[in-house]
Amino acid sequence: MAKQVDRAVNAERVEDLIAVFGSFDENVKRIEEALGVQIVNRGTELHVIGDEEQADKAVRTLEGLLMLAAKGETIDEQRVRYLITLVNEGNDQQVAQMAKDVVCITAKGKPIKAKTVGQQKYMKAIQSNTITIGVGPAGTGKTYLAVAAAVAAFRERMVNRIILTRPAVEAGERLGFLPGDLQNKVDPYLRPLYDALYDMLGAETFQKYQERGSIEVAPLAYMRGRTLDDSFIILDEA
């Protein structure tokens, strides 16, 4: 029979403990189910009871969640499940670095950080290479994080311009028959890029930079043959 142990985890703030527990203690229950342990709350101290190896994993999971909560990160089901996976794989030491590395600050003062090991590697690749190719399922943050990296480089004057482009595939050759000028025609296909820029710069600041030509959002068909120096270029949906 495996050795049963009682491990203690201390929370410095009650607010962090509340965030880790979640609504109706759902986060703690998820850890208990995934790792086969019992978690008991005694004041600001959590006791993990169970098999020694699994209890140690639960402790590392709780410590990681408490650290993220202390840094203002949202603790939700996805975050809990991901951290449990990292602990099981022995990669939970990377959580501290992810919480520390801020890619960009939004117009509302919210820090943008990598939330997974894959996103962390993606950001390091962008920051350390001239050309980076990001491949992955929809909704994994490829475009959003790339725009965040572009805005950060622009703010630090590492580049003079941001060029964002994506093919207007849906429009095909009928683009010319759509009503309005060029901007009206391509706006629906470039909307994801606008959304990310509005979030990070604010609408007014974005419009100002766009009028100056410092930030350009255009369909791929209109970028051919151009020479772009000192620019951060993002080709989306390539």
Q: Rounded to whole angstroms, how far apart are CA atoms 180 and 200?
A: 28
Buried b (16+ CB within 10 A) or exposed e, 204-236: eebeebbeeeebbbbbbeeeeeeeeeebbbbeb
Q: Tell me the sheet residues that pair with 6.
A: 49
Q: What does DSSP assign to residue 2?
A: P
Whether the model pTM is above 0.95: no
- The per-residue pLDDT for range 68-85, each reduced to its tens digit, is 888 888 888 888 998 999
Beta-strand (E) ranges in the chain?
Answer: 4-10, 38-42, 45-51, 104-105, 111-112, 161-166, 215-219, 231-235
Is residue 11 classed as helix, strand or coil in its secondary structure? coil
Task: Give the relative orientation of helices 26-35 and 14-21 as an angle to the nearest 10 degrees.
Answer: 60
Quick: pLDDT tens for 143-191: 999 999 999 999 999 999 999 888 765 544 455 555 666 666 666 777 8
- Residue 226 sits at φ, ψ, to 5 deg, of -90, 150
Q: What angle do CA 214, 190, 238 make, to 5 degrees?
A: 95
pLDDT for position 153? 93
Range of weakest confidence among 11-25, 48-62, 82-96, 168-182: 168-182
Query: 188-223, pLDDT tens digit by residue?
Result: 777 888 888 999 999 899 999 999 989 988 777 777
Domains of the chain in sequence order = 4-100 (3.30.1370.10), 117-235 (3.40.50.300)
